[in-house]
Amino acid sequence: MPSFLQNHTTRIYSVLRIVSGLLFACHGAQKVVGILGGAGGSGHGILYGVAGVIELVGGILIAIGLLTKYAAFISSGQMAVAYFKVHIAGGFWPIQNGGELAVLYCFLFLFIAANGTGSWGVQSD
């Protein structure tokens, strides 16, 4: 089984990039547009709106593979800020404060920033 997977690492990486980018864009769409169960940006403050734009635009760029390294690096930083600005108040450990997704996105996007678009992207690195 590992040899089968090893033969497809570039494609599996691209699927990881596309799916994580689309899911991240959905979080942005919740914040900016108010769809998918979100409340929209009204009344939440400027940081909420900026976070939504980074998530929406960054997620789309990551998913389609355009300016991937830059979009992933900025998105990774935004998730680090989200963790330390929002979640840390509930305790240090992500399992305590509900910040697991922020930490996971932070390190996933850092990995994508280091590795670039891979295959199946608009712009290869």
Q: Where are the domains of the chain?
A: 2-115
Supply the pLDDT for residue 38.
77
Tens of pLDDT, residue by residue over 100-124, are: 999 999 999 999 999 999 999 998 6
CA 80-53-124 angle, 5° bins: 80
Question: Above 80 in pLDDT, residue 70?
Answer: yes
Supply the pLDDT for residue 58.
98
Q: Tell me how far apart the alpha carbons of residues 27 and 9 are, in angstroms, rounded to a whole number.
A: 27
Supply the pLDDT for residue 42.
66
Residue of 54, 81, 56, 67 whose CA lies nearest to 112 = 67
Give the whole-number percent of the chain exceeding pLDDT 90: 79
Distances (CA, A) of 29 to 8, 10, 11, 13, 76: 31, 28, 27, 24, 18
Kindly report the average pLDDT of the chain as a whole number.
93
Q: Tell me how far apart the alpha carbons of residues 65 and 59 are, in angstroms, rounded to a whole number.
A: 10
